[in-house]
Amino acid sequence: MTFFARLARFLFWLLIVSWGVALLRRIAAWALQRSAPHDVDEPAQASVARRLHRDPVCGTHVSDQISVPLLEAGETLHFCSEECRTKYANLHRPAVNE
């Protein structure tokens, strides 16, 4: 056999073996996944992505569920704490003429 024929034969068998190994890995992963016990008590919302909002005062990112909301001009602003909400409200309160 010539050099190129041996090289082609080697590459062919290398391809066949790598496909076989990939197939065996997929089968093993599938078998392990099916045999693993599933946690029945997982909360239903664990897979739901939560959106983070940036606090306009301190810049902290906060989730909808733990934020302190403030409705201003039809827009809901989310704050990390009552203190940040109060600071924002004091800064953006309209001036009262005496």
Number of domains in the chain: 2
Give the separation between CA 98 and CA 95, rounded to whole angstroms.
9
Give the pLDDT of residue 50.
76
Task: Give 68's strand partners.
Answer: 79
What would the DSSP string read from start to end of 46-63?
GGSPPPEEE-TTT--EEE
Same domain, 30 and 57: no
The single-letter DSSP state of residue 45 is: G
What is the span of the domain harbouring residue 20? 1-34
Give the pLDDT of residue 72.
84
| pLDDT digit string, tens, across residues 31-68 | 888 877 665 555 555 555 678 889 989 988 998 888 88
Same domain, 84 and 56: yes
Written as one letter, the residue type at 96 is: V
Could you tell me if residue 47 is inside a domain? no
Same domain, 57 and 86: yes
Could you tell me if residue 45 is inside a domain? no
Backbone dihedral region of 70: left (phi > 0), alpha (psi from -120 to 50 degrees) or beta? beta
Could you tell me if residue 41 is inside a domain? no
